[in-house]
Amino acid sequence: MTETELLTAVTSGTKKNPGLCRRLRVRYFHPYDSRRCVPGWPDLVLVGIAGMCFRELKSQSGIVSDQQREWGYALREIGEDWDVWRPADLESGRIESELAELMTP
């Protein structure tokens, strides 16, 4: 699964198979053109009634860049929830579980 396919599965999905965010009603922001963003900014900002988190999406073998890691450290340093999601996290149910937590008061 590519990073783009993972993004679709997590966010909007398709008409026949809505993404997890659509199904769970989690709001998300993904820059349309990351080339115009600050290097390393996370792929997703996710917001639910119980909080928010930042996630970097990678293919199973994708490598987190130094800039992405620096943003992750900076966000964690101020108490924010930053992590990396990969296709294995989708298959294991980890992503759905973390999104559901965002919607649990």
Domain at 98, CATH number: 3.40.1350.10
Question: Which one is predicted more confidently, 7 or 35?
Answer: 7
pLDDT at 12: 93
Domain of 8 in residue numbering reads as 3-102
Number of domains in the chain: 1
pLDDT per residue over 39-98, tens digit each? 899 999 999 999 999 999 999 999 999 999 999 999 999 999 999 999 999 999 999 999
pLDDT at 85: 98
- Return the DSSP state at 78: T
pLDDT at 31: 86
Instruction: Identify each DSSP E strand in 13-81 by its residue range.
Output: 27-29, 44-48, 51-57
- Contact, 18 vs 29, CB < 8 A? no
Give 67's contacts (C-beta < 8 A, 6+ positions apart). Answer: 39, 40
pTM score of the predicted model: 0.93
Residue 13's pLDDT band (cuts 50, 70, 90) = very high
CB atoms inside a 10 Å sphere around CB 85: 20
Q: In this structure, what are the phi and psi dihedrals at residue 59, rounded to the nearest 5 degrees? A: -65, 170
